[in-house]
Chains A and B, each alone.
Chain A
Amino acid sequence: MHPLAETIQARFPDGFLSAQEWRGDLAVTVKREALHAIGRFLKDDPSMACDYIVHVSSVDWPDEEERFEVVYEVYSIRHRHRIRVKTRVPERDCFVDSLTDIWPGADFMEREVFDMMGIRFNNHPDMRRILMPDDFPEGYPLRKDFPLQGKGWRDTFDFLNEGAAS
């Protein structure tokens, strides 16, 4: 196993689930309850020093018990390493602890995850939609059960009949 993953496992034996290394990327899967503590450890521990947040993303696996996966990717400027931290959430209890207090940039990225996938973040300062309209009624567009063409909201719009004027 990658030495960084071993460090995380040694420090969080309960929260750590598995580590994958593929094509040179290191990904660590952790329990949802331990995510915030591990985030804090990654930022503050001198051997990790992951001060730069790269992205926050989410993946939908509709057939699995814990349906959603939240992905954080962080980078250390000092050590020049990249770690991807993943955690799983079930649909009926769709909450993850926000990491906004550790990396302030997570604010917009988590809002995007909420907007697109419907995963809510505890202790987030401003949990609103960001790209879709505030009154968007159709749910969360990047879920796998959301059709590509939408669910018909657009068909209810009133359009100006431009041809009729002339």
Chain B
Amino acid sequence: MAHLEDQRETIYKVDPANPETKDLPILRTEELLLNMGPQHPATHGVLKVILDLEGERITKSTVVMGFLHRGVEKLAEYGTYHQFIPHTDRLDYVCAMYNNFAYCRAVEKLMNVTVPERAEYLRTIVAEVQRIIGHLFWLGTQALDIGAMTVFFYTFRDREILLDWFDELCGARLTTSWYRIGGVERDFTASLETRIRDFLAYFPPKIDEYVVFLEKNRIWLARTVGVAVISAEDALGYGLSGPTLRGSGVDYDLRKYESYGAYPKCEFSVPVGKNGDTYDRYWIRIEEMRESIKIIRQCMDQMPKEGPVLADVPSVTLPPKNRVFTNLESMIQQFKLFSQGFDAPPGEIYCGTEAHKGELGFYIVSTGGGKPYRLKIRSPSFIHMGAFDYMAKGYMIADAVTIFGSYDIVMGECDR
């Protein structure tokens, strides 16, 4: 807040004892209330922020959200566990695969289902591809918000390659629903493997290209270095996670410390920032893209060439699709799993997954039966918005856009 005080001194205070300021007009000071949103191009959806301003400095901000609230947690209580997977696509609609992954992992923990090895690798590869997509999307829009428009076209060009790859994988670009409880819906084809290997060769030089655009760009540096600084202690207290927390120097990555999927079998490092400013959060995301490429490459090499991609637990997992169409028992099994669900044991679990925004967790309470009794989604976007008022205090209006951009918020996940 110190810089805010300085600003006030220089602009508003005319010192009567000082003859040099005697002739200056006495400026009227007034607190201004500014409504930003709900329809504002930089709010990434429908978010309203009421800013109390002194000049162009923010003294207080009130976040108004819920414009995209669809009651997903309530809907979950009325459907079976399998039926909820498509709802998770619509949480963070930019990165549906990771939501599917986080949800399926939570249900697998509840049901104690072990996923076959090849499926673990497939899941990890696709999750990392999704992480790259998420970071590319973030980088493009964040640069666009700050005023560097060109980067947007380059990141979206590369994002498009991966979305087309998703299209071939599961028939959808955004709302994918490819993960299943106990594995994945279908295996990679030879063409998919070739295309992802081509991408691994193509992509690393492109990261350097984005870096060239930004890291020597004086405007980018002025808008990010030292903006929205949050200390490690505060970041933890506010429950920040993912790159936003690691930017403050806290080494917290669930892929490493509560490892899952094929991550324990891969070597990768977790980039951790120092200053806790917007620039560090940007740097971490760039480095994470490079790490993701490493993880995908290792997974492609280590992956068993053949094997089941869905666990064989008939009471929980779905039968293979080709059997559903030809075999009566499989059809009945599929029908029962979707209409009544499987019998979950009573109990409660929390399972957190490191999505590209932060810790995406599902807290499921079961009382037995085919439907969750209570399903709570710990969505990083919502929790990051809780720190907005604290982080925006004393910065300019234009920085507000930078700050919620640097959380990488998506309102579908924030409002649920």
Contacts and interface: CB of A to CB of B under 8 A. Distances in A.
A66 interface: no
A54 B378 contact: yes
Contacts of A130: 65-66
A131 B66 contact: yes
A71 B363 contact: yes
Given A131-B66, A131-B69, A142-B73, A80 B363 contact: no
B299 to A, nearest CB: 25
Interface residues of B, number: 43
Interface string B45-71: 000000000000000000001100101
B237 A54 contact: no
B36 to A, nearest CB: 18
Contacts of B385: 108
Contacts of A84: 350
A109 B386 contact: yes
Contact of B257 (A80, A108, A129): A80
Interface in A14-56: 22-23, 25, 27, 51-55
Contacts of A108: 382-383, 385-386
Given A23-B112, A109-B383, A57 B363 contact: yes
A59 B390 CA distance: 29
Contacts of A80: 257
A55 B365 CA distance: 14
A59 B373 CA distance: 9
Contacts of B73: 116, 142
Interface in B138-176: none
B75 A104 contact: no
B238 interface: yes
Given A55-B376, A148-B78, A25 B236 contact: no
A57 to B, nearest CB: 4
A107 B359 CA distance: 18
A22 B109 CA distance: 10
B234 interface: yes
Contacts of B109: 23
B304 to A, nearest CB: 27
B237 A141 contact: no
A10 B391 CA distance: 39
Contacts of A54: 239, 350, 352, 359, 361, 378
Contacts, number: 100
A19 B66 CA distance: 35
Interface in B67-122: 69, 71, 73-75, 78, 109-110, 112
B186 interface: no
Nearest to A143: B74
A12 interface: no
Interface in B339-396: 347-350, 352, 359, 361, 363, 365, 373-374, 376, 378, 382-383, 385-387, 390
Nearest to B252: A77
Given A27-B348, A132-B66, A148-B78, A55 B110 contact: no
Contact of A105 (B69, B75, B387, B416): B387
A73 B386 CA distance: 17
A52 B383 contact: no
B373 A53 contact: no
B250 interface: yes
Contacts of A133: 66
Contact of B374 (A60, A105, A112): A60
Nearest to B250: A77
A51 B234 CA distance: 9
Contacts of B112: 23
A45 to B, nearest CB: 16
A77 B236 contact: yes
A103 interface: yes
B42 to A, nearest CB: 21
Interface string A74-110: 0001001010100000000000000000011101110
A130 B416 CA distance: 12
A73 B352 CA distance: 11
Contacts of A77: 236, 250-252
A51 B250 CA distance: 11
Given A55-B378, A131-B66, A148-B74, A105 B237 contact: yes
A60 B240 CA distance: 27
Given A82-B350, A112-B382, 7 more contacts: A22-B348, A23-B349, A55-B376, A84-B350, A105-B387, A116-B73, A132-B69
Interface of B: 65-66, 69, 71, 73-75, 78, 109-110, 112, 233-234, 236-240, 250-252, 257, 347-350, 352, 359, 361, 363, 365, 373-374, 376, 378, 382-383, 385-387, 390, 415-416
29 contacts: A22-B348, A23-B109, A23-B112, A23-B347, A23-B349, A52-B236, A52-B239, A52-B252, A53-B239, A54-B350, A77-B250, A80-B257, A82-B350, A103-B239, A104-B386, A105-B237, A105-B238, A105-B239, A105-B383, A108-B383, A108-B385, A109-B383, A116-B73, A131-B69, A131-B416, A132-B66, A142-B73, A142-B74, A146-B74
Q: Top 8 nearest A-B pairs by Cβ distance?
A: A108-B386, A105-B239, A131-B66, A105-B238, A55-B378, A57-B376, A53-B239, A131-B69
